[in-house]
Amino acid sequence: MISQTLREARKYEEALGKLIKSEERPSFHLSVRTGWMNDPNGFSYYKGEYHMFYQYYPYDSQWGPMHWGHAVSKDLLHWEYLPAALAPDEFYDRDGCFSGSAMELPDGRQLLMYTGVVRERQKNGGICEVQTQCIAVGDGMDYEKYEKNPVLDETDLPEGCSRFDFRDPKLWKKKDGTYCCLVGNRPADGSGHLLLFTSPNGFQWNYKKVFCANHHRFGLMWECPDFFELDGKWVLLTSPQDMRPQGFEYHNGNGTLCLIGDYDEITDSFAEECNQSIDYGIDFYAPQTILTPDGRRVMIGWMQNWDTCSLRISDHTSWYGQMSLPRELSVKNGRLYQAPLRELLNLRKNKTVHKNVSVSGVVRLDGVNGRKVDMQLTICPKDKETMYRKFAVRFAQNEEFYTSLSFRPSESILKIDRKFSGSRRAIIHQRRSMVNSKNGEIKLRMILDRFSVEVFVNDGEQVMTATMYTEQEADGISFFADGEAVIDVEKYDLD
């Protein structure tokens, strides 16, 4: 049975979604059907298609009581909207259906596990959100909430754990058939940890252990965990709130964290070995991954950040929120590598190549412009003795606006800067990252899609992502060097 709340949301999104012209949206990144989108949810491959659900408030381009939006795709680049899957319509989730994940059951149905939210008045008059874990089961279109919801609540939590910060269940199945679920939570020390729950069937859940504790190392609460095996290692992804900077690796505010290590499936012990940011740009948060039928681990994140949402909100547009490119993951020498999904090559049109171009001052190149672009750029010094001091590429550029990437070989720092992209807000517009470069050589692959840039540095060793809402007429690209640099450019339009 579909509730009145869900029926209304479906009617509303169908009518309002149509009013947004396709040119007003990103072209090959999934954006919200109408209204507001945050985290990817229930990212899965089910019945021959990729499914993406997302945190969704259809009625406004700002965050509100969360629904789950829904879209499907055959190639992860062209998406078709389906009717919203979940609405906050039960006593245990009346103030929101927060983030969660999906899994196929042995009988072919799809299980969604999500966080139910209920606001509770506190003795001091304040309001706190009580969070529990809930289930819905469906066929890829319609989902029915389980009659025994919530399946995990405060009574399942060990001593000292918060019932207010208890969210974002990530499901997976172990080789022995046990269902596992990692949930973000806060222990009494106010830091974050991830709790492991197990189940014989996906419906009855039991607390197992603290899977991984933050101990105040990386921000406070850890949101939206994901966990998987890759290239002989185990990878734990999470998005910490309230981070403090550590060198150029982590920044203030909401960030992303990747822990790589080993996992013993018998004792459920995760032994961390290395840590790093997932994305070194400005707008990337709460990613989820899937295993594709051909065995690739593919990740998609929310291509925004809570700390910088005001960049767009003041515009009064009818949509806000887009997902990142699907990125193929691998682990090499204890590092997470990311590459744009290989199907993106199918969208390439109009190849333009410029080889061995000397850059000193500003240079523009024939055929190199656009806002839906795949551009591979290799930079090196003219000769080894005289190193250039700074190299920059400006894009989404016209007389008034531009966004830039700049690189100073003496510091080995790559900077993304959208200060002049048209923003009127006092938020973070720049971010710097330490990158690997030998003798001033660096390799960048930039993907632009109308409102965003994703920069894959040195074949995916690092990625820097930023959104920019500059008018689309600003489609220039130019290169600059202080000193003398030599570049190779291979550029395609994406369509």
Question: Is residue 488 annotated as part of the catalytic site, yes or no?
Answer: no
Distances 95 to 119, 246, 256, 403 between C-alpha atoms, Å: 6, 36, 26, 39
CB 248 → ligand FRU: shortest distance, Å? Answer: 24
DSSP string, 367-392: T-B-SEEEEEEEEEESSSSS--SEEE
129 contributes a contact to ligand FRU by CB under 6 A: no
For ligand FRU, the closer of residues 38 and 288 by Cβ is 38
Residues numbered 276-305 forming contacts with ligand FRU, rule: CB under 6 A = 285-286
Measure the CA–CA gap between 45 and 51, rounded to whole angstroms.
6
- Rule CB under 6 A: choose which of 34, 99, 110, 452 binds ligand FRU: 99
Collapsed DSSP state (helix, strand, coil) of residue 344: helix
For ligand FRU, the closer of residues 288 and 423 by Cβ is 288
Closest listed residue to residue 480, CA positions, set 332, 341, 397, 364: 364
Q: Which strands, in side-by-side order, build the sheet including 35-46?
A: 79-86, 67-73, 49-57, 35-46, 319-320
Measure the CA–CA gap between 76 and 191, rounded to whole angstroms.
35
CB 466 → ligand FRU: shortest distance, Å? Answer: 18
CB 2 → ligand FRU: shortest distance, Å? Answer: 22
Query: 150 preceded by cis ω (within 30°)?
Result: yes
CB 39 → ligand FRU: shortest distance, Å? Answer: 5
Measure the CA–CA gap between 320 and 287, rounded to whole angstroms.
17
Measure the CA–CA gap between 181 and 195, rounded to whole angstroms.
8
For ligand FRU, the closer of residues 110 and 115 by Cβ is 115
98 contributes a contact to ligand FRU by CB under 6 A: yes
Closest listed residue to residue 53, CA positions, set 44, 41, 62: 41
222 contributes a contact to ligand FRU by CB under 6 A: no
Residues numbered 373-402 forming contacts with ligand FRU, rule: CB under 6 A = none
Which two tokens mark 493? 């339009």
Residues numbered 63-92 forming contacts with ligand FRU, rule: CB under 6 A = 66
For ligand FRU, the closer of residues 223 and 328 by Cβ is 223
- Rule CB under 6 A: choose which of 90, 129, 156, 223 binds ligand FRU: 223
β-sheet bridge partners, residue 243? 253
470 contributes a contact to ligand FRU by CB under 6 A: no
For ligand FRU, the closer of residues 255 and 460 by Cβ is 255
For ligand FRU, the closer of residues 286 and 494 by Cβ is 286
CB 179 → ligand FRU: shortest distance, Å? Answer: 20
- Rule CB under 6 A: choose which of 55, 133, 308, 423 binds ligand FRU: 55
CB 98 → ligand FRU: shortest distance, Å? Answer: 3
- Rule CB under 6 A: choose which of 115, 214, 403, 465 binds ligand FRU: 115
Query: What does the longest C-alpha to C-alpha distance in the chain come to?
Result: 73
- Rule CB under 6 A: choose which of 89, 129, 168, 417 binds ligand FRU: 168
Q: How many CB atoms lie within 10 A of CB 459?
A: 12
102 contributes a contact to ligand FRU by CB under 6 A: no
39 contributes a contact to ligand FRU by CB under 6 A: yes
CB 54 → ligand FRU: shortest distance, Å? Answer: 10
Q: Percentages helix, strand, coil for the chain, rounded to the nearest 5?
A: 5, 55, 40
Collapsed DSSP state (helix, strand, coil) of residue 53: strand
38 contributes a contact to ligand FRU by CB under 6 A: yes
Which two tokens mark 75? 């190639």
Measure the CA–CA gap between 240 and 237, rounded to whole angstroms.
10
For ligand FRU, the closer of residues 227 and 285 by Cβ is 285
**Site of interaction with ligand FRU (CB under 6 A):** 38-39, 55, 66, 98-99, 115, 167-168, 223-224, 285-286
- Please identify every residue annotated as catalytic: 39
